[in-house]
Amino acid sequence: MKKALLAIIIGSALAFSFAHAADAKKDAVASKVAGCCVKAAADSKACAHPCCVTAAKEKNNCTKCGGAGAIAAKK
């Protein structure tokens, strides 16, 4: 019986960590700045790519350049 109980505890702990990892992954995908825009931001500039400018107007990261989701709001 003890082994069965232990298996249940380990099983639920694993399920929890998997669910948590999936959530973290979802958050990462939710806001990913395109590489070209990261480089531009490092130079304190806005990315000059027309596709990125268009995406930025919609408050989105450029999906064409590898970005994803909405631009993280500045605080």
Q: Using an 8 Å Cβ cutoff, are 62 and 55 in contact?
A: yes
Task: Give the residue carrying structure tokens 């958050």.
Answer: 27
DSSP character at residue 71 = P
Nearer to Zn ion, 5 or 43 (CB): 43
Residue 36, interface with Zn ion (CB under 5 A)? yes
CA 55 vs CA 24, 46, 59, 70: distances in Å: 24, 12, 6, 9
CA distance 68 to 62: 6
Residue 33, interface with Zn ion (CB under 5 A)? no
Stretch that binds Zn ion, among 4-12, 20-28, 42-50 (CB under 5 A): 42-50
User: Using CB under 5 A, which of 26, 64, 70, 72 touches Zn ion?
Assistant: 64
Stretch that binds Zn ion, among 6-14, 18-26, 65-73 (CB under 5 A): 65-73
Residue 34, interface with Zn ion (CB under 5 A)? yes
